[in-house]
Amino acid sequence: MFRNKDFKQIVIVGSIVTAVLSIICVSFNAWAGLVTFFLGAFLILFFSFYTKKRYEDIENLNEYLTKVLSGDDSTEIFDQQEGEISILKSNIYKTTTTLKYQKEMLSKDKKRMADAIANISHQLKTPLTSMMVMNDLLKDEEDKEKQKEFLSTQSNQLDRMNWLIQTLLKLSKIDAGTVSMKKETVMLSDLLKEVIRPFEIQMDLKNIKYVDKSTDFTISCDKNWTIEAIQNIVKNCIEHMDEGGALTIASSDTNIYSEISVSDTGSGISEEDLAHIFERFYKGKNAGKDSVGIGLSLSKSIIESQKGDILVSSKEGEGTTFVIKFFKTII
């Protein structure tokens, strides 16, 4: 405290003023001089005591910040008292708490990024290895039919890699917040026609019946991104259905939200997998051999980026239902 230049100057000036006033008062009246002296001394001591307490509080704040900077954030300084120091304590505590939370989020983001890179490397390694093997075989293969077979396999692997890379780029853009979801007023019937069109031949080959139970109404969403989200769900449903199954799309419209449900009669999802179905790169026990585990994750990201929600219910051996909700008001 006494190392502070301003504090020393105030004490010195106060002492000099007290001494001068005491001498002047003594010349008129001895008792007046003594009263003046003791009053001045009392004020200086009171000021010193009060200032010392404030300096101790500031020192405690300094020690707290030093501990926080060194990584020790276990100490708390938050209190409910009044005054400038208490307000400062509260604001510093809020700031350090926010920084701690951001640090934890950053650590989690780094871990997720490391896991994602590992998963991407694994997913790309499989088709790359297959293509390298096929390329070596092509060098020595003279049979034209075999060459065509190898080239066809390589083409399929390239298509898979291209789809994987494009999907990961879309996810990265959504995660980074660089994708702007534009609100469009779309007729649901037009939206669903575009969703189903790419799967018509595939459903016909597997003898999968499409049941349209939707009612037509306008929906506010980003048309292209929403089509992609629903198509990923439909693709997942078709892949988990045997021949002769049924794909059903229904809808409802309320004052709060517009709802689209997609149901299948497939193998269903086990209870242990259900909680992880939207996690990136997660593959359940009923997943196909070519499944990557990012299609449903992309759908969830797209829907939630539009302030919507996506839910799933399922029972093994009976099928799965996905429910998409677009809220008309933010709740």
- Nearest-10 crossing angle of helices 30-69, 84-140: 10
Which pLDDT does position 261 carry in this prediction? 94
* Most confident stretch, 75-79, 283-287, 296-300: 296-300
For 288, the 3-state DSSP assignment is coil
pLDDT at residue 74 above 80? no
Question: Of the given ranges (33-37, 208-212, 251-255), which has the lowest mean pLDDT?
Answer: 33-37
Rounded to an integer, the average pLDDT of 55-77 is: 70
The tokens for 159 are 């298509």
- SS3 assignment, position 180: coil
Residue 47 — φ and ψ, nearest 5°? -60, -40
39 or 204: which carries more pLDDT confidence? 204
Q: CB-based contacts of 134: which residues, under 8 Å, 6+ apart?
A: 150, 153, 154, 157
Q: How many residues does the chain have?
A: 331
pLDDT at site 31: 65
- Is residue 299 pLDDT above 80, yes or no? yes
Q: Is the pLDDT of residue 223 over 80?
A: yes
Q: Which residue has the higher pLDDT, 297 or 52?
A: 297
pTM here is: 0.60
DSSP string for residues in 126-148: HHHHHHHHHHHHHHH---HHHHH
**pLDDT of 214 above 70:** yes
CB within 8 Å of 223: residues ≥ 6 apart? 184, 186, 191
CATH architecture of 184-327: 2-Layer Sandwich (3.30)
Residue 324: the pLDDT is: 94
* pLDDT at position 36: 67
Residue 174 pLDDT level (bands cut at 50, 70, 90): confident
Structure-model confidence comparison of residues 322 and 160, the more confident one? 322
Q: Which residues contact 161 (CB under 8 A, 6 or more apart)?
A: 124, 127, 128
CB 191 within 8 A of CB 227: yes
Asked whether 212 and 242 are in contact (CB, 8 A), the reply is no
The CATH class of the 118-176 domain is mainly alpha
Instruction: Return the pLDDT at 85.
Output: 67
Cβ atoms < 10 Å from Cβ of 151: 12
Which pLDDT band, with edges at 50, 70 and 90, does 239 fall under?
A: confident
Q: pLDDT band at 92, cuts 50/70/90? A: confident
